[in-house]
C-alpha cells in the first residue's frame, strides 16, 4: 500500500489556497441530497456537524454522553493558540507553523501544520462572533498569554475554562442547526462499528445506551471526531468515558492507525493519592507562566517546602533551560520531573511529585492578581488535595493527557478507507511526537470549522456513491457482529471486574510504555497484555443485560478495544528505535538525557494495518518531507 498524503505541491504558504481552489464543489441544490454522519460532539465533531449543516448537507451527529455539550474538549483549561500577533511581539503564521513543527520534534507533516497555523486566525474570529467570552484587556481588546514551547504570547483564553467556552460556542452553533432541523442529534448513543459497502464507509452501527437497542444508520460519508485514547492507561486526565472504540472499529475495517505510541504526558497534574484513584486532574500549563518548578537540592529532604531555604532549592528547569525556563515543552518538562523523582528528590508522601511554587508570583503581583488569573485552578487544587496553594506550593506529577497518534489521514482528513474521515484528536496529523500547549483546541476547531467543510465536498462530488438503505446486507452483517460481541461479553460470567482488568492494563502501559520505554520492558509488556486480554475474554464478569442502561457493559466493550490497542502501541514503540518528543526510548538519548532522534531511519509516519485477530499488524511508512524547516536537535536552552 502506498500512503499518499495528497499534500499539494508548491510553496508552503500557497498549498492550502491552491488546494481549496482545486477541490471539487457540490452545488447548493445538491448538498441536501448528501447525508453525513459525524461521530462525536467535541470541538471537532460539533464544529464539523454545525458547519456541514450550514452548508446544506443533511447531518447526523452522535455522542455517548447525555448532551453534546459534555464532550471532553470542555475540560481544556489554558487556551487556544492563534497567529493573530495582536501583542505585536513578532508572531506570524510562519512562526506558529515553525514552533509547532519543532515542538512536535519534526514528526508532523509540514503541509498540515502550516494550514493549521493559517486557519488559526479565523478560529478566533469565529468564536468571538459566537459570543465566546475571551479574556480582554481594559481597552476592550483581546488578551493573550504565553504557553510552553513558544517565545511569543499567542494564546487566547477564557479564565481557566477556555475549552468549556469554545465547546459551548461550537455547541451553540450545533444547537442552532439541530433547532433548524439540519442536524439530527443522537445522544447517549455509542458507535460500535463502521459499515462498508463496495469499499466505501457508508454508515455505522450504534447502541442506544438507554434502551440497549442496536441501530443502523446510513450516509454518504462518515466523520469520526471521537477524541484520543489516553484511557488505555486507565489513569489519565481524560474523561472517564473517553475511549478508542470508534477509531479502533474503523481500524479493523481498514483504516490505518498512525503513530499509536505517541502519547503526551502532561507535566503538571495532581499526583495520585491511592488505589481508589479514578482519574488524574490536570493543572493548566498556563500556571508555568508564573509558577516556578523546583525540588530540594538534597535527596530525601522531608522538610515542609516553606522550611527549605532558597539556596537549598533546585529550580531545575530554569537551571537547565535558561532561555525557556519553566516554559519548556511538555515532553521536556515531564521527563525532567520524572528524572528528579527517580533521582530521589521527589516530594510529598509518595516521593512522586515536584513543587510548582507561586510564592514569588504572589509577592510580585499580589494575591488578587494571581487569583484573577488562576483562581479556578487554585480552587480545584484545594478541593482535591485539601491544601491551599496560595500558602504552600502545589505538588505536581506528570500524567497521560493527550494522544498525538490516531487514525492516519491524508491532507483532506480522509483515512485509508474511502469516505471515512477522522478529525481532531482522533487523527494523527498535526502534532508530531509532542503537542504544544493550547494547540489541541486549535486543531479540533480547525478541522471542524475550516478543513472538512471544504474537503468532504470533493469526495462527495467525485466518488461514485450508490444509493443504499440500511436493509443492505452489509448493515445486517455488521449488526450481527456487534450483537455477537455484546452477547459474548455478557455470557463470560467470570470472576474479574472490568475495572480491575482496566487498572492492570493501565499499570502495564504506564510502567513500560509511558514516560520512558525500553526494548526489554516493551517486550515484557507485550506478553503481559496478551495474557490480560486472554483473562478478560475468559474471566470477566459483566452483570445485567444488553437491553437496558448498562454501564458495566459499556465499559467492558471499550476495555476490549483498549486491550488490543495497547499491544499495537507497544509494537509501535518497539519498532521506533529512536527517541522523539513524547516517545522516549531509554536506549536512545543524548549525553544530557535529551531525546535522540534518528532522522535518517525514522523520519516517517508509522501507519499500521490490521490483518486479523491476534495477528501482527503490517507497518506502512509515510516518509516525512521537510522542504521549509531544517531538522535539528531541539534546544530550549
Partner 1 sequence: MNLTLKVWRQKNNKEYGRLETYAIGDISPDMSFLEMLDVLNEDLTRKGTEPIAFDHDCREGICGMCSLYINGRAHGPKQGTTTCQLHMRSFKDGDTIVIEPWRARAFPVLRDLVVDRGAFDRIMQRGGFVSVDTGSAPDANIIPIPHPVAEKAMDAAACIGCGACVAACKNASAMLFVSAKVSQLALLPQGQVERKARVEKMVAQMDKEGFGNCSNTGACSAECPKEISVENIARMNREYFSAKVTGDQ
Nearer to partner 1, 7 or 59 (CB): 59
Angle subtended by helix axes 551-575 and 245-252, to nearest 10: 60
* Shortest distance in whole angstroms from residue 209 CB to partner 1: 9
| Close Cβ partners of 631 (under 8 Å, ≥ 6 residues apart) | 106, 597, 599, 603
In the structure grid, which three cell numbers stand for residue 594, read together? Answer: 535529551
Whose grid coordinates read 462530488? 461
User: Half-sphere exposure of residue 39, counting CA atoms within 13 Å on the CB side?
Assistant: 34
Active site residue 330: yes
Nearer to partner 1, 46 or 108 (CB): 46
First to last CA, the chain: 41
SS3 172: helix
β-bridge mates for residue 427, sequence order: 407
* Shortest distance in whole angstroms from residue 532 CB to partner 1: 18
Catalytic option among 70, 109, 207, 330: 330
Nearer to partner 1, 267 or 581 (CB): 267
* Shortest distance in whole angstroms from residue 138 CB to partner 1: 5
Nearer to partner 1, 130 or 151 (CB): 130
* Shortest distance in whole angstroms from residue 321 CB to partner 1: 29
SS3 363: helix
Whether the CB-CB separation of 180 and 197 falls below 8 Å is answered with no
In the structure grid, which three cell numbers stand for residue 339, read together? Answer: 528524572
Q: How many other C-beta atoms are found inside a 10 Å radius of the C-beta of residue 159?
A: 21
* Shortest distance in whole angstroms from residue 130 CB to partner 1: 5
SS3 220: coil
Torsion over CA of 321, 323, 329 and 332, rounded to 10 degrees? -10
Whose grid coordinates read 491552491? 18
* Shortest distance in whole angstroms from residue 48 CB to partner 1: 10
Nearer to partner 1, 54 or 511 (CB): 54
SS3 402: strand
Nearer to partner 1, 62 or 602 (CB): 62
Question: In Å, how far are 91, 453, 542, 579 from 465, measured between CA atoms?
Answer: 44, 18, 40, 43
Q: What is the DSSP pairing of strand 313-314 with strand 420-422? A: unpaired
Which residues are part of the catalytic machinery? 330
Amino acid at each position: 500500500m502506498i500512503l499518499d498524503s495528497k499534500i499539494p505541491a508548491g510553496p508552503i504558504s500557497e498549498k492550502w489556497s491552491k488546494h481549496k481552489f482545486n477541490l471539487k464543489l457540490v452545488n447548493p441544490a445538491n448538498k441536501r441530497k448528501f447525508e453525513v454522519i459525524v461521530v462525536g460532539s467535541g470541538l471537532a465533531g460539533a464544529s464539523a456537524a454545525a458547519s456541514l449543516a450550514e452548508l446544506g448537507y443533511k447531518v447526523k451527529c452522535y455522542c455517548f454522553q447525555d448532551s453534546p455539550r459534555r464532550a471532553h474538549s470542555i475540560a481544556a483549561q489554558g487556551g487556544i493558540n492563534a497567529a493573530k500577533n495582536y501583542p505585536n511581539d513578532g508572531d506570524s503564521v510562519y512562526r506558529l507553523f515553525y514552533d509547532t513543527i519543532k515542538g512536535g520534534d519534526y514528526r508532523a507533516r509540514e503541509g498540515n501544520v502550516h494550514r493549521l497555523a493559517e486557519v488559526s486566525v479565523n478560529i478566533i474570529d469565529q468564536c468571538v462572533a459566537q459570543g465566546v467570552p475571551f479574556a480582554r484587556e481594559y481597552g476592550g481588546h483581546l488578551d493573550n498569554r504565553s504557553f510552553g514551547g513558544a517565545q511569543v504570547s499567542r494564546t487566547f483564553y477564557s479564565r481557566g475554562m477556555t475549552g468549556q467556552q469554545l465547546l459551548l460556542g461550537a455547541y451553540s452553533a450545533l444547537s442552532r442547526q439541530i433547532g433548524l432541523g439540519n442536524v439530527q442529534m443522537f445522544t447517549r448513543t455509542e458507535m460500535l462499528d463502521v459499515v462498508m459497502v463496495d469499499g466505501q464507509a457508508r454508515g455505522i452501527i450504534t447502541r442506544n445506551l438507554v434502551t440497549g437497542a442496536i441501530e443502523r444508520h446510513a450516509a454518504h460519508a462518515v466523520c469520526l471526531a471521537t477524541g484520543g485514547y489516553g484511557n488505555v492507561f486507565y489513569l489519565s486526565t481524560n474523561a472517564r468515558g473517553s475511549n478508542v472504540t470508534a477509531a479502533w472499529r474503523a481500524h479493523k475495517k481498514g483504516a490505518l492507525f498512525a503513530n499509536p505510541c505517541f502519547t503526551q504526558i502532561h507535566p503538571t497534574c495532581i499526583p495520585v493519592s491511592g488505589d481508589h484513584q479514578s482519574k488524574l486532574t490536570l493543572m493548566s500549563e498556563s500556571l508555568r507562566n508564573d509558577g516556578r518548578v523546583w525540588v530540594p537540592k538534597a535527596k530525601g529532604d522531608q522538610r515542609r517546602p516553606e522550611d527549605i531555604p532558597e539556596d537549598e532549592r533546585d529550580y531545575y528547569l530554569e537551571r537547565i533551560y535558561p532561555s525557556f525556563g519553566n516554559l519548556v515543552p511538555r515532553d521536556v518538562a515531564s521527563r525532567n520531573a520524572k528524572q528528579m523523582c527517580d533521582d530521589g528528590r521527589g516530594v510529598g508522601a509518595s516521593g512522586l511529585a515536584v513543587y510548582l511554587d507561586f510564592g514569588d508570583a504572589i509577592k510580585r503581583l499580589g494575591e488578587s492578581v494571581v487569583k484573577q488569573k488562576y483562581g479556578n485552578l487554585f480552587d480545584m487544587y484545594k478541593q482535591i488535595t485539601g491544601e491551599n496553594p496560595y500558602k504552600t506550593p502545589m505538588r505536581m506529577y506528570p500524567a497521560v493527557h493527550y494522544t498525538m497518534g490516531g487514525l492516519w489521514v491524508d491532507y483532506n482528513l480522509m483515512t485509508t478507507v474511502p469516505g471515512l474521515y477522522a478529525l481532531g484528536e482522533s487523527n494523527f496529523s498535526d502534532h508530531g511526537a509532542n503537542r504544544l500547549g493550547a494547540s489541541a483546541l486549535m486543531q479540533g476547531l480547525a478541522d471542524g470549522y475550516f478543513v472538512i467543510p471544504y474537503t468532504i465536498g470533493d469526495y462527495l462530488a467525485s466518488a461514485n456513491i450508490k444509493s443504499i438503505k440500511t436493509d443492505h446486507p452489509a448493515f445486517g452483517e455488521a449488526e450481527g457482529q456487534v450483537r455477537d460481541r455484546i452477547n459474548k461479553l455478557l455470557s463470560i460470567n467470570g470472576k474479574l471486574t472490568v475495572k480491575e482488568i482496566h487498572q492492570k492494563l493501565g499499570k502495564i502501559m504506564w510502567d513500560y510504555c509511558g514516560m520512558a520505554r525500553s526494548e526489554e520492558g516493551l517486550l515484557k509488556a507485550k506478553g503481559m497484555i496478551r495474557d490480560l486480554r486472554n483473562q478478560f475474554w475468559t474471566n470477566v464478569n459483566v452483570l445485567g443485560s444488553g437491553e437496558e442502561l448498562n454501564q458495566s457493559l459499556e465499559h467492558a466493550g471499550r476495555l476490549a478495544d483498549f486491550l488490543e490497542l495497547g499491544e499495537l502501541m507497544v509494537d509501535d514503540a518497539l519498532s521506533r528505535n529512536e527517541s522523539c518528543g513524547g516517545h522516549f526510548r531509554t536506549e536512545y538519548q543524548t549525553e544530557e538525557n535529551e531525546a535522540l532522534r534518528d532522522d535518517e531511519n525514522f523520519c516517517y509516519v508509522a501507519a499500521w494495518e490490521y490483518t486479523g485477530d491476534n495477528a501482527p499488524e503490517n507497518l506502512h511508512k509515510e516518509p516525512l518531507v521537510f522542504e521549509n524547516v531544517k531538522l535539528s536537535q531541539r534546544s530550549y536552552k
